[in-house]
Amino acid sequence: MTTFDKREQGFEAKFAHDEELMFKAAARSNKLLGLWAAGQLGFSGDAAAAYATALVTDNLANQTMDETLAKVSSDLAAKGITREQVGQKLQECLHQALAQLEAASRQAGN
């Protein structure tokens, strides 16, 4: 195997790892956003969990982040929460999800 082949395999492995990380982060951030939105809507317990799970599964069915943002925004519009506020919360959830995944990865490596 040449050095070029080894480098190519390394890049392919990094790409696959990064894609898996972003997939997990998106799913986790949608769940966090769903739990926050459910709380804003007055849901608790099973109803809150069901709302959050629906966001995750809808996103897995090829829904984009923009579509997720639009859905949550429309659900919260009656509560006076703007699309910008939901977008900001989604960004916070994504950062939190990445931090959680990185922490879990470090613990697994120990």
CATH number at residue 63: 1.10.790
pLDDT at 110: 58
Whether residue 7 is contained in a domain is answered as no
Q: What confidence tens digit (pLDDT) does each residue in 58-75 have?
A: 877 767 889 999 999 999
Question: φ and ψ at 22, to 5 degrees?
Answer: -70, -35
Decide: residue 86, CB within 10 A, 0-12 exposed, 13-18 middle, 19+ buried: buried
Whether residue 52 is contained in a domain is answered as yes
Whether residue 75 is contained in a domain is answered as yes
Whether residue 16 is contained in a domain is answered as no
Distance of CA 64 to the CA centre of its chain: 11
DSSP label of 43: -
Whether residue 13 is contained in a domain is answered as no
Q: What confidence tens digit (pLDDT) does each residue in 1-31 have?
A: 788 778 888 888 888 877 888 889 999 999 9
Query: What span, in angstroms and rounded, lies between the C-alpha atoms of 49 and 89?
Result: 18
Whether residue 72 is contained in a domain is answered as yes
Domain housing 81:
24-109
Whether residue 15 is contained in a domain is answered as no
Whether residue 87 is contained in a domain is answered as yes
Total domains, the chain: 1
What does the mean pLDDT of the chain come to? 90
